[in-house]
Structure 1
Amino acid sequence: MKAWLLSLLALPWLAMGAEQRLITIGGDVTEIVYALDGQQHLVARDSTSLSPEAATTLPDIGYMRQLNAEGILALRPTLILASSQAKPSLALEQVANSGAKVVTIPADNSLQGIDAKISAVAAALHKEPQGRALQQRLTTALSAIPSQP
């Protein structure tokens, strides 16, 4: 009887835990989340995430190179997608130790590095097919740019 009652009382907590609460750190990471239509889970972003404009309505956790674990944890995230340029890494380590999943997104700032960023974000959001489609659209758009002035 006690086990049944305890499991019944735990149901609302389990349902609440199933909701994903996403924080993005890095303007490029935030833009990719929106491009993959994953913004419905976003609860906050860092101050470098200014595009798309809708992202600016979210709470700001501060500058990506001056992170504070307490400010991030106050938002009860379940998933943090952080550019590898995000610092201090100790703050992200504290967040990870609290139970939130922290995924580091590559920060290669070249055209070739964009595919790796898209793949990493898409995998973290379980949106791999949308990620491949976004990569294809990007490849198509880049190939349309004239190579000569």
Structure 2
Amino acid sequence: MCSGYAKALRIVSANGTLSEILVGLGLEKQIVGVDVTSTFPASLEKLPKIGHNRTISAEGILALNPDVILYTDKSMLSPAVVKQLNGSGKKLVEFKHEYSKEGAIKLIREMGAYFKAQAQAEKMINALRTDLAKIPAPANPKKLLFIYARGAGTLMVSGTGTSLDKMFALAGHKNAVSGFTDFKPLTAESLIAANPDVLVLFSSGLESLEGMDGLLKVPGVANTNAGKNRRIVTMDGQLLTGFGPRVGKAAIELSQKVK
């Protein structure tokens, strides 16, 4: 990782976890723009937004006149945007982000080194390790299925290797689906075959379906153990998938809700 800067910077962050770490490093006042996943702490909501994933444009970022632009290998900036930003004369820095407790610690440490804020980084890591030690081991691991919803017309399930899959494992539970990576469209047949004990959604996702009753109307849901028992868990999206300073807190909350 490149060496950091001594002067105050204008920082744009294209990733919610990076934004959260920047705040923990004491650099919030230097952030001039963030992507829409940058929701914690709530004070970040007031900052100019650069877009979300594939809708992020180089022009929107460069209009904020940043000194440094941060993203991760999971940020989904298009190759064309990365090329534009690299050719802009601005500093573009990519951090690797592995969905694991070790990956969270490594990311915090690397950002602390880059911005010469090692002491603040270690403070975050110590708090994270305290949280990780408190994750309870479930007596009866459950089969969980994550459904990404943006209304009934957009429903996807989370396969292996995703942040959701890794979070389920961290909390001591199992992903109800396997055999594919990333996300794929939800079908009634695959849902019934997976037969999850608990369905997990972002809070915003369940709202987009008009709540529990709307979810139960999705073909196949009512035929699963989760649907029959109305075992639906919702969590804040960035908390559940961020794998940053709050990864331990996320696993604890998921454990408590799945019980």
TM over 0.5: same fold? yes
When residues 133 and 22 of structure 1 are mapped into structure 2, their CA distance, relative to the original with a 3 A threshold, is same
Q: Specify the alignment match of 1:14 in structure 2.
A: none
Identical counterparts, % of pairs: 30
Letter in 2 for 1:97: G
Q: How many residues matched?
A: 132
Q: Secondary structure at the match of 1:93?
A: helix
Question: Conserved in 2, the CA contact under 8 Å of 1:78 and 1:99?
Answer: no
Q: Secondary structure at the match of 2:48?
A: coil
Q: Secondary structure at the match of 2:54?
A: coil
Alpha-carbon distance in structure 2 between the residues aligned to 1:89 and 1:55: 26
Q: Secondary structure at the match of 2:84?
A: helix
Alpha-carbon distance in structure 1 between the residues aligned to 2:93 and 2:111: 8
Alpha-carbon distance in structure 2 between the residues aligned to 1:146 and 1:71: 43
Q: Secondary structure at the match of 1:77?
A: coil
Q: Specify the alignment match of 1:4 in structure 2.
A: none
Q: In the alignment, is residue 82 of structure 1 matched against residue 71 of structure 2?
A: yes
Alpha-carbon distance in structure 1 between the residues aligned to 2:82 and 2:113: 20
Post-superposition, which runs of at least 4 consecutive aligned residues in structure 1 deviate over 3 A? none
When residues 124 and 65 of structure 1 are mapped into structure 2, their CA distance, relative to the original with a 3 A threshold, is farther
Q: Specify the alignment match of 1:30 in structure 2.
A: 19
Q: Specify the alignment match of 2:82 in structure 1.
A: 92
Which of the residues 10, 35, 41 maps onto 1:46? 35
TM-score by length of 2: 0.48
Alpha-carbon distance in structure 2 between the residues aligned to 1:19 and 1:137: 26
Runs of 5+ consecutive residues of structure 1 not aligned to the other structure: 1-17
Give the greater-gyration-radius structure (CA). 2
Runs of 5+ consecutive residues of structure 2 not aligned to the other structure: 1-6, 140-259
RMSD value over aligned CA atoms? 1.6
Which of the residues 105, 108, 111 maps onto 1:118? 108
Which deviates the most, 20-29 or 97-106?
A: 97-106
Question: Conserved in 2, the CA contact under 8 Å of 1:65 and 1:85?
Answer: no
Alpha-carbon distance in structure 2 between the residues aligned to 1:123 and 1:90: 29
TM-score by length of 1: 0.80
Q: Secondary structure at the match of 1:115?
A: helix
Q: Which has the higher strand share?
A: 2
Alpha-carbon distance in structure 1 between the residues aligned to 2:67 and 2:87: 12
Q: Specify the alignment match of 1:55 in structure 2.
A: 44
Which of the residues 79, 104, 122 maps onto 1:132? 122
Q: Specify the alignment match of 1:71 in structure 2.
A: 60
When residues 25 and 19 of structure 1 are mapped into structure 2, their CA distance, relative to the original with a 3 A threshold, is same
Alpha-carbon distance in structure 2 between the residues aligned to 1:136 and 1:79: 27
